[in-house]
Structure 1
Amino acid sequence: MKKFFAAACAAAFLMSVGCSSIVRTADNTANTECGESKAPVNEKAAYEPLNYREQVGLWLPYVRFPDYMQGKSEAEFRKAVAQIMEDAAADSVNTVYFHVRPNGDAYYASELFPKGTYLDGDYDPLEIVLEEAHKRGISVHGWINPLRLQTAEQMNNVPDSFIVKKWINAGEPYVKNVGGRWYLDPAYPETEELLRNSVREVLDNYDVDGIHIDDYFYPTTDPEFDRIAFETSGSGDLAQWRIENVNRFVKAMYDTVKAKDKRLVFGISPQGNIDADYNSQYADVMRWSSEEGFCDYIVPQIYFGFENENSPFLPTLNQWEELVDESKVSLIIGLAAYKLGREDKWAGEAAELEWINDPDIISKQIMEVKKSSADGYALYY
């Protein structure tokens, strides 16, 4: 982990203008700069959310869980998490997005979803992450993949008592199999309600500072995925209908967060290519970035080098700046630290080796973010 931070965070990024942060004071109350209003404190919840508009973020994805969770005792897991947080804090990271529900499985105590695939110990990963992060002043957002579920093979081992398995066994249309993996179909109010309840379950039981979703929206453009629901909807435009389905569940999740505590935040991390957001996933990023009621911050995954032939970094950054211009949505730029030293096969022939030939590319991108109107950056490694 130290090696990663040394390479990826060589340039520290802390903005010095605007509303900087919400921090704890000596008496453990929240000090809010720039005159931001505070919601009344729920008598049953003494915890006050810790969030930063100017984020230096870090994703903690499930694909890394085998490294420090699978086969580990609670003490071993805590030690690994503590080291991650120490390294993160040392490099100015103030926000982590912890994967609490990546594939219809839960890395927290859940009655809605089965135990996480990589969690073979008898402990609560989310609780430990919260404890180790908060003691170091790091905000924690529960990261959810809204629609993606288990593979067909994994689903065979899911107990029949869980709601998604009940739907599958009953032949309900709320879940669909695409390429050997199950997905929720957002066309139905039943799936929207499950997403609401999944957010509420986390917020009611844990002192998370927010909820974070990423770019797994519609899993396919195939009209057969939701043909029956579309035909009965009365709509004549499949793409627009799907966009509205996504908008509806995104807003439902946002509203659920705000109903719990207005100081909690809701963030979205879509693809960096805006055309692809609309054409392949029906993600209405223009609306989310400019209109209140969908998200507090947006983290486009601008995982492109400067020489990328399709989506070069600087023009793509400028596009996102324009989207959030004059809105209250905070813009955090997602950076692909995981590409360092790797060939980028999708960047075009001239840019395939950029991430190998330029070991300072992340540092350079951080400096470009600092010069932009964005409010921060987040690293995916």
Structure 2
Amino acid sequence: MKKFFAAACAAAFLLSSGCSAMPLESSSETLIGSVPPAAEPLRNIPLNYSEQVGMWLPYVRFPEIMQGKSEEQFRNAVAELLQDGAAESVNTLYFHAHPNGDAYYRSEIYPDGAFLDGNYDPLRIVIEEAHKLGISVHAWINPLRLQTEEEMSALPDDFIIKKWINEGEPYVKAVNGRWYLAPAYAEAVGLLEDTVGEILDNYDVDGVHIDDYFYPTTDEDFDREAFESSGSTDLEAWRTEIVSRYVKALHDTVKSRDNRLLFGISPQGNIDSDYSSQYADVRQWGRGEGFCDYIVPQLYFGFENECCPFLPTLAQWEELVNGGVSLIVGLAPYKLGREDKWAGAAGELEWINDSDIIDKQIAAVKESSADGYALYY
């Protein structure tokens, strides 16, 4: 797993201090509601930091570290990844526990994830190895996204999602060959609450994290029946309310277990797109009204991006987030060395021509009012 970090160091993009960054035990970040990491490797007291240096571990990486691996091989791969991260001051891991209506943990609700072909519990191993190093673990879930139609056909008929499909219930809908929960229905939101509750009741995670798949489509047919029966006349406003309702339900489920646990949201960095394509009311969420503890906008833009240049977009998020919500800036080292075809002519080659771009963005974040940053490789 060293290549996740070694390649970054070679390109000089991880931290403003380079690959000799200060390790966690020497860091000045303040622990939130925890004891010193060495005192209790796996604890019931949530381990969190007032200044996050986060890292996503998405399911698309699981074939490399999990598929076809024994429990020992998986544990070693995770330990190596986390040790490399800790050496670069990473103190928070967002682990993809529930990406596609499945589970990379022991679940009585969902089937195992497609890349879990060994008889072990990935989430438990991740928590054990992370807490040894004083790294916080947030269970990352995609609330609405489920299996493809082909994958669903192979699952047992007693899987709750498949039962709903077979019974013709409106709580799930197919979009472009994949199933999604329809969040306008209380049954779907209840399942989301059960999903988070199952994780929190069985694992010593330090928080829960959701990303930017807030709504699967802008197609009016997706939830036409529910909209027409609602009495509302504004589809966009209605969907925005629906999204905030289930986001708050997830937040409240987390807090009902332990108020010290954190709930975080990672929306798109383009605020206009959050509203127009995802129905995500990020302005409301960022005001500290009980929707999240931290927000991680994905500022995956170069300084020369013609749509959302990094510095002005960072300033927009600084203005948006207040009232007790922490702003963690999502950065995109995965784009290094690649063309950015969505950046316009001025920014298309920026990630190729400027190997120090992440370095510079971290420096800008440290000069801003943000409370940290997170890296997507």
Instruction: Give TM-score scaled by structure 1 length.
Output: 0.93
Give the distance between the partners of 1:94 and 1:53, measured in 2 at CA.
10
Give the corresponding residue for 2:286. 289
The offset of 1:29, in angstroms, is 7.7
- Residue deviations 1:207-245 (CA, integer Å, cap 9, x gap): 000000000011111111100100000011100100111
Give the corresponding residue for 2:30. 20
The offset of 1:159, in angstroms, is 1.4
Give the corresponding residue for 2:87. 90
2:147 to 143, 147, 150: 150
| SS of residue matched to 1:9 | coil
In structure 1, stretches of 5+ residues that fail to align are 31-44
Is 1:5–1:88's contact at 8 Å kept on the other side of the alignment?
A: no
Is 2:38–2:134's contact at 8 Å kept on the other side of the alignment?
A: no
- Residue deviations 1:256-305 (CA, integer Å, cap 9, x gap): 10000011000000000000000001001000000321000000000000
Is 1:65–1:118's contact at 8 Å kept on the other side of the alignment?
A: yes
1:358 to 341, 354, 359: 354
Q: Is 2:182 aligned against 1:185? A: yes
- Residue deviations 1:183-228 (CA, integer Å, cap 9, x gap): 1011000001000000000000000000000000111111111001
Q: Is 2:377 aligned against 1:374? A: no
- Residue deviations 1:337-374 (CA, integer Å, cap 9, x gap): 10000000101112111000001100000000000000
Give the distance between the partners of 1:26 and 1:109, measured in 2 at CA.
26
Q: Which amino acid aligns with 2:46?
A: P
- Residue deviations 1:66-115 (CA, integer Å, cap 9, x gap): 11101111111001000001000000000000000001110000111110
Give the corresponding residue for 2:14. 9
Q: Do the aligned partners of residues 234 and 338 (structure 1) sit closer, same or farther apart at CA in structure 2, a change above 3 Å counting?
A: same
Q: Do the aligned partners of residues 265 and 63 (structure 1) sit closer, same or farther apart at CA in structure 2, a change above 3 Å counting?
A: same
The offset of 1:160, in angstroms, is 1.3
Q: Which amino acid aligns with 2:188?
A: T
Give the corresponding residue for 1:119. 116
| SS of residue matched to 1:236 | coil
Q: Is 2:339 aligned against 1:343? A: yes
Identity across matched positions, percent: 67
- Residue deviations 1:102-131 (CA, integer Å, cap 9, x gap): 011100001111100111111000000000
Is 2:37–2:131's contact at 8 Å kept on the other side of the alignment?
A: no
Give the corresponding residue for 2:329. 333
2:52 to 46, 50, 55: 55
Is 1:305–1:312's contact at 8 Å kept on the other side of the alignment?
A: yes
| SS of residue matched to 2:49 | coil
| SS of residue matched to 1:131 | helix
Aligned residues: 366
The offset of 1:10, in angstroms, is 3.4
Q: Which amino acid aligns with 1:260?
A: R
Give the corresponding residue for 2:309. 312
Give the distance between the partners of 1:171 and 1:294, measured in 2 at CA.
32
Q: Do the aligned partners of residues 371 and 46 (structure 1) sit closer, same or farther apart at CA in structure 2, a change above 3 Å counting?
A: closer
Q: Do the aligned partners of residues 346 and 46 (structure 1) sit closer, same or farther apart at CA in structure 2, a change above 3 Å counting?
A: closer
Give the distance between the partners of 2:38 and 2:6, measured in 1 at CA.
36
Is 1:299–1:334's contact at 8 Å kept on the other side of the alignment?
A: yes
Give the corresponding residue for 2:222. 225
Give the distance between the partners of 1:135 and 1:26, measured in 2 at CA.
7
Q: Which amino acid aligns with 2:14?
A: C
Give the corresponding residue for 1:41. none
Q: Is 2:74 aligned against 1:77? A: yes
Give the distance between the partners of 1:125 and 1:184, measured in 2 at CA.
25
- Residue deviations 1:284-329 (CA, integer Å, cap 9, x gap): 100000032100000000000000000000010000000113x100
| SS of residue matched to 1:24 | coil
| SS of residue matched to 1:141 | strand
Output the aligned Cα RMSD. 2.0
| SS of residue matched to 1:89 | helix
The offset of 1:24, in angstroms, is 2.3
Give the corresponding residue for 1:237. 234
The 5 Å alignment of 1:261-272 reads 261-272=258-269
Give the corresponding residue for 1:38. none
Q: Which amino acid aligns with 1:270?
A: P
Instruction: Give TM-score scaled by structure 2 length.
Output: 0.93
- List structure 1 segments (4+ residues) > 6 angstroms apart after TM superposition: 13-19
Give the distance between the partners of 2:317 and 2:154, measured in 1 at CA.
42
Give the distance between the partners of 2:261 and 2:294, measured in 1 at CA.
12
Is 1:29–1:48's contact at 8 Å kept on the other side of the alignment?
A: no
